[in-house]
């Protein structure tokens, strides 16, 4: 006879064997503070001046390609501070302050639980070869967000010629910012003093990838040097203190360069899985980081796999927030990294991951950034560059109306005199000019006064006239040259290739 046992009785019998004494043990908290190193040693400050390389250590990656983790429980790194001129965009030489003599500073990669022995000499008073126009020497410091230490001890500011050393253990996995914490912190960060620390989980990441890149988004607030100094014949730009306080950047870029990864795409292959370590430095604006043409299979907020999203299109990063995003590149093509706040993208926060062989001449269209072909006239080239850095948030050239009107044909619709007056002083025009009033009536938003000088206005007008004479709108795609040979590819303006640089050398925007 078959014995029938009701399911409830069977379940109760099972539970009876699971009394309190034999309850499964709770998993250990991987973030148990009692297991962390919370007893750092005091920092040491000396007047010993280091004279070797500005950055040193196996754990450092000097560009976007992130080196694999190197073995060793202790990572010794050096990041000296310098003042140097960087080229932020074609023709824009900016007086920057750096860690490791580059902007952003090198990326540090360690494993959770490893110890970082850090040394920094303040070398802001050193004259780099050939450069005499850097900022005055000043105090600097280092603030590692990856560390748990007393900031008044480890993050103290040191004077030019001094060296500070301290150690800490990377207790938490994640992607962290480092930056100078010396007052005024805003100015120090806005001048270029930041970088990324990657702390890989103790047991590594749960996924395997084919490529790893570090993407650092940051804002720059530039103005022409009031002393009108030049570097290599080009005007020097310095930090604009008013813009930085008003949170009005002139450039928002990836890895310290306007459209840098448009000019030099990050390589990959079709079908590969890519991991990006993304840091939004700010210092003041958020990033809505997105990769056109794919979906983030995984997003690990703050770079920690315990904070996971699946199937995300965009990750929102406040100032100093980070994420790891992983995705597959399904087929050959140009996949565009972009801050989906398109006003930021139009200031340079855009880049390309090139998967496989993309046909020659297939210029990236900058995903809704209507870059036109480039003029050959250097005056119009400057106008195009200014237009792309300042106007694309509201206008297009033959890409249709946005917040403001499509400016294709504007040099035919308006006289040159009218355009010059409008660009110079739109608020004055709105008081009495009927066409200006009609524009406000249609678009509802007044054209802001950009504070342009006569030379900048001439450059804009030259670009508009060139576009109207040489471009052929093509409905939904970008305008193309009207005749072969009348224009250069769009990236000739953006990259400032050798021939263009030569053509524009000596031009000064005043």
DSSP 100: T
- Residue 293 lies near other proteins (rule: CB under 8 A): no
**Region of 165 on the Ramachandran plot (φ > 0 left; ψ -120 to 50 alpha; else beta):** beta
- For residues 115 and 75, is the Cβ–Cβ distance under 8 A? yes
Query: Smallest gap, in angstroms, from Cβ of residue 159 to other proteins?
Result: 7
* 221 Cβ contact partners less than 8 Å away, ≥ 6 residues apart: 190, 239, 240, 241, 243, 244, 248, 249, 250
By CB under 8 A, tell whether 282 contacts other proteins: no
Q: In this chain, which of 104, 105, 106, 181 binds other proteins, going by CB under 8 A?
A: 181
Q: Answer yes or no whether residue 241 interacts with other proteins by CB under 8 A.
A: no
Cα dihedral 455→382→254→281 (10° resolution): 0
Residue 135 CA to residue 83 CA, distance in Å, equals 6
Residue 158 within binding range of other proteins, rule CB under 8 A: yes
Q: Which is nearer to other proteins, 267 or 318 (CB)?
A: 318
Question: Candidates 175-183, 195-203, 230-238, 403-411 — which segment interacts with other proteins by CB under 8 A?
Answer: 175-183
**Cα 259 from chain centroid (whole Å):** 9
Q: How many CA atoms lie within 13 A of 267 on its CB side?
A: 3
CA-CA distance, 332 to 312, in Å (whole number)? 21
Which residue(s) pair with 113 in the sheet? none
The span of 23-31, 158-166, 360-368, 384-392 binding other proteins (CB under 8 A) equals 158-166
Our CB check for other proteins shows the closer of 46 and 415 to be: 46
Binding mask 125-154 for other proteins (x = CB under 8 A): x----------xxxxxx-x------xxx--
Q: Does 481 bind other proteins (CB under 8 A)?
A: no
Q: Which position among 57, 105, 160, 370 is part of the footprint of other proteins (CB under 8 A)?
A: 160
N- to C-terminal Cα separation, the chain = 103
- Asked if 447 and 439 count as a contact pair (C-beta separation under 8 A), the reply is yes
- Helix (H) or strand (E) holding 258, with range, is none
Q: How far is the CB of 46 from other proteins (least distance, A)?
A: 11
36 lies in the site for other proteins, by CB under 8 A: no
Question: Please, what is the minimum distance in Å from the beta carbon of residue 143 to other proteins?
Answer: 8
Contact (CB, 8 A) for 379 and 462: yes
Contact status: 177 vs other proteins (CB under 8 A): no
**What is the closest distance, in whole angstroms, from the C-beta atom of residue 194 to other proteins in the complex?**
15
**Closer residue to other proteins, CB minimum distance, 161 or 446:** 161
Q: What is the DSSP string of 113-148?
A: T-EEEEEEEB-TTPPPTT---PPPP--B--EETT--
Q: Is 184 in the site for other proteins (CB under 8 A)?
A: yes
Among 185, 309, 391, 480, binds other proteins (CB under 8 A): 185
Angle between helices 454-470 and 416-424 (to 10 degrees): 130
Q: Is 156 in the site for other proteins (CB under 8 A)?
A: yes
| 346: nearest Cα among 403, 303, 300, 293 | 403
438 binds other proteins (CB under 8 A): no
Provide the minimum distance between the beta carbon of 251 and other proteins in the complex, in angstroms, as a whole number.
25
Q: Using the rule CB under 8 A, which residue among 82, 157, 250, 255 binds other proteins?
A: 157
Q: What is the C-alpha to C-alpha distance for residues 300 and 209, in angstroms, rounded to an integer? A: 14
- Contact between residue 268 and residue 329 where contact means Cβ atoms under 8 Å apart: yes
Binding window for other proteins (CB under 8 A); candidates: 178-186, 203-211, 424-432, 481-489: 178-186
Which residue in the block uniquely carries the two structure tokens 């608020």? 427
254 backbone dihedrals φ, ψ, rounded to 5°? -100, 130
Measured from the CB of residue 25, what is the shortest distance to other proteins in angstroms?
Answer: 40
Applying CB under 8 A, the site for other proteins has a residue count of 25
Nearer to other proteins, 151 or 448 (CB): 151
Does 159 sit near other proteins (CB under 8 A)?
yes
Minimum distance, C-beta of residue 186 to other proteins, in the bound complex (Å): 10
Instruction: Tell whether residue 265 is a contact of other proteins (CB under 8 A).
Output: no
Looking at residues 85 to 124 of the shown chain, list those that interact with other proteins (rule: CB under 8 A): 124
Q: Which is nearer to other proteins, 84 or 156 (CB)?
A: 156
Using the minimum distance from each CB to other proteins, give the nearer residue, 140 or 458: 140
Q: Lay out the site mask for other proteins across 40-79 (x = CB under 8 A, - = otherwise).
A: -------x--------------------------------
DSSP string, 187-215: HHHHTT-EEEEEEE-TT--SS--SEEEEE
Please, what is the minimum distance in Å from the beta carbon of residue 126 to other proteins?
12
Burial of 297 (0-12, 13-18, 19+ CB in 10 A): middle
Q: In the complex, what is the shortest distance from the CB of residue 136 to other proteins, in angstroms, rounded to a whole number?
A: 6
Does 503 contact other proteins by CB under 8 A?
no
Q: Measured from the CB of residue 384, what is the shortest distance to other proteins in angstroms?
A: 38
| Nearest residue to 178 (alpha-carbon basis) of 202, 203, 204, 154 | 154
Q: How far apart are CA 237 and CA 501, in angstroms?
A: 17
Distance CA 337, CA 289 (A): 7
Nearest CA to 393 out of 433, 350, 442 is that of 350
Site residues for other proteins per CB under 8 A: 47, 124-125, 136-141, 143, 150-152, 155-161, 181-185
């Amino acid at each position: 006879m078959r014995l029938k046992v009701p399911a409830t009785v069977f379940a109760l019998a099972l539970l009876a064997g699971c009394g309190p004494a034999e309850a499964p043990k709770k998993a250990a908290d991987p973030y148990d503070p009692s297991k962390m190193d919370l007893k750092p040693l005091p920092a040491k400050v000396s007047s010993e001046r280091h004279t070797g390389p500005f950055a040193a250590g196996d754990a450092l990656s000097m560009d976007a390609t992130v080196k694999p983790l190197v073995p060793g429980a202790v990572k010794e790194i050096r990041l000296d501070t310098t003042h140097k001129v960087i080229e932020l965009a074609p023709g824009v030489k900016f007086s920057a302050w750096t860690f490791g003599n580059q902007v952003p500073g090198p990326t540090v990669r360690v494993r959770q639980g490893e110890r970082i022995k850090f040394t920094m000499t303040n070398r802001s008073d050193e004259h780099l070869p050939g450069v005499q126009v850097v900022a005055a020497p000043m105090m600097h410091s280092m603030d590692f967000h990856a560390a748990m230490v007393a900031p008044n001890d480890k993050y103290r500011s040191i004077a030019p010629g001094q060296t500070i050393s301290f150690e800490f253990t990377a207790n938490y996995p994640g992607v962290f910012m480092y930056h100078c914490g010396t007052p005024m912190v805003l100015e120090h960060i806005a001048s270029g003093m930041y970088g990324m620390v990657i702390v890989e989980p103790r047991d590594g990441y749960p996924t395997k990838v084919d490529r790893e890149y570090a993407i650092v988004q940051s804002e720059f607030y530039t103005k022409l040097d009031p002393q009108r100094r030049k570097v290599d014949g080009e005007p020097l730009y310095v930090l604009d203190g008013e813009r930085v306080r008003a949170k009005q950047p002139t450039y928002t870029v990836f890895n310290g360069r306007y459209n840098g990864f448009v000019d030099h795409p990050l390589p990959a292959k079709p079908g590969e899985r890519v991991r990006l370590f993304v840091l939004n430095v700010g210092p003041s604006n958020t990033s809505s980081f997105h990769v056109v043409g794919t979906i983030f299979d995984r997003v690990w907020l703050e770079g920690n796999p315990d904070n996971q999203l699946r199937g995300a299109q965009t990750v929102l990063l406040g100032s100093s927030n980070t994420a790891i995003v992983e995705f597959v590149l399904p087929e050959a093509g140009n996949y565009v990294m972009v801050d989906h706040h398109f006003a930021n993208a139009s200031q340079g926060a855009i880049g390309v991951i090139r998967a496989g062989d993309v046909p020659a001449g297939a210029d990236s269209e900058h995903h809704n950034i209507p870059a036109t072909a480039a003029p050959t006239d250097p005056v119009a080239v400057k106008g195009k560059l200014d237009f792309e850095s300042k106007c694309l948030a509201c206008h297009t050239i033959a890409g249709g109306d946005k917040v403001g009107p499509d400016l294709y044909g504007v040099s035919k619709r308006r006289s040159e005199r009218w355009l010059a007056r409008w660009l110079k002083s739109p608020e004055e025009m709105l008081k009495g000019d009927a066409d200006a009033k009609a524009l406000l009536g249609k678009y509802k938003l007044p054209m802001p006064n950009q504070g342009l000088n006569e030379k900048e206005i001439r450059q804009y007008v030259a670009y508009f006239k060139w576009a109207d004479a040489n471009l052929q709108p093509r409905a939904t795609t970008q305008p193309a040259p009207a005749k072969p040979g009348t224009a250069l590819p769009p990236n000739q303006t953006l990259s400032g290739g050798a021939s263009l640089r030569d053509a524009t050398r000596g031009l000064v925007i005043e």
